[in-house]
Chain A
Amino acid sequence: AQSVTQLGSHVSVSEGALVLLRCNYSSSVPPYLFWYVQYPNQGLQLLLKYTSAATLVKGINGFEAEFKKSETSFHLTKPSAHMSDAAEYFCAVSRGGADGLTFGKGTHLIIQP
């Protein structure tokens, strides 16, 4: 069985500050890991994915995440927050192939001006 834990249902940062969204996973097999972003009234957009290549993964909009097997973590970071980053962020895990994604509960990112 797989599971994802996202620490912090809400994270607030100032514009220009570092963004850190935490994700820990549990998986019985080597996982594939993802971060999705959801803007209000929109669907899920893939930010980045870890598929067993490089442990440091770069995504869209300046986001990146590092896979740390020893810590079972896949935290999302961005050096400098922008107002347009305000959204809901979901971490997800998959066993691969056509397996359904298992999502975390999401973190609502708030950007303070």
Chain B
Amino acid sequence: EPEVTQTPSHQVTQMGQEVILRCVPISNHLYFYWYRQILGQKVEFLVSFYNNEISEKSEIFDDQFSVERPDGSNFTLKIRSTKLEDSAMYFCASSVPTGQAYNEQFFGPGTRLTVL
């Protein structure tokens, strides 16, 4: 069964460093998403991406964040200068437009980012 994959599973970085989190969505999906979950808190929406541009973003997704689909398979989240409060689990998700009002999102296993 196709699934969303994410690498690395765990990333440790120093405050102020740039990190890139990578995701491979399900191959025929066209909508891509990033979410984060700070330890002990709820899952929060960051951004959605379609047709090579951002569709929607939350107030969390500030200028420190960017997303890119550099090729036909990868979808990346870049944090330009990490802060301690960026430590969280980051989930990628994807969905396929079906012409219906709702498109189910499939989640990857997550990348745990630790900022020291």
Using a CB–CB cutoff of 8 Å, the interface residues on chain A facing chain B are: 32, 36, 42-46, 49, 51-52, 90, 92, 94, 96-106
Contact = CB atoms under 8 A, between A and B. Distances in A.
B39 to A, nearest CB: 12
Q: Is the interface of B mostly helix, strand, loop or mixed?
A: strand
Interface string B77-100: 000000000000001000101001
B104 interface: yes
27 contacts: A36-B107, A42-B109, A43-B4, A43-B107, A43-B108, A43-B109, A44-B91, A44-B107, A46-B104, A49-B104, A94-B102, A97-B102, A97-B103, A98-B50, A98-B55, A98-B95, A98-B103, A100-B47, A100-B48, A100-B56, A101-B35, A101-B43, A101-B45, A102-B45, A103-B43, A103-B45, A105-B41
Contacts of A98: 31, 48, 50, 55-56, 95, 97, 103
A52 B101 CA distance: 10
A35 B41 CA distance: 16
Interface residues of B, number: 30
Nearest to A94: B102
Contacts of A99: 48, 56
A99 B48 CA distance: 8
Which has the most chain B C-beta neighbours within 10 Å: A100, A102, A103, A104? A100
B33 A100 contact: yes
B110 interface: yes
A43 B45 contact: no
A32 B48 contact: no
Contact of A51 (B48, B56, B102): B102
A71 B104 CA distance: 25
B66 interface: no
Contacts of B101: 32, 51-52, 96-97
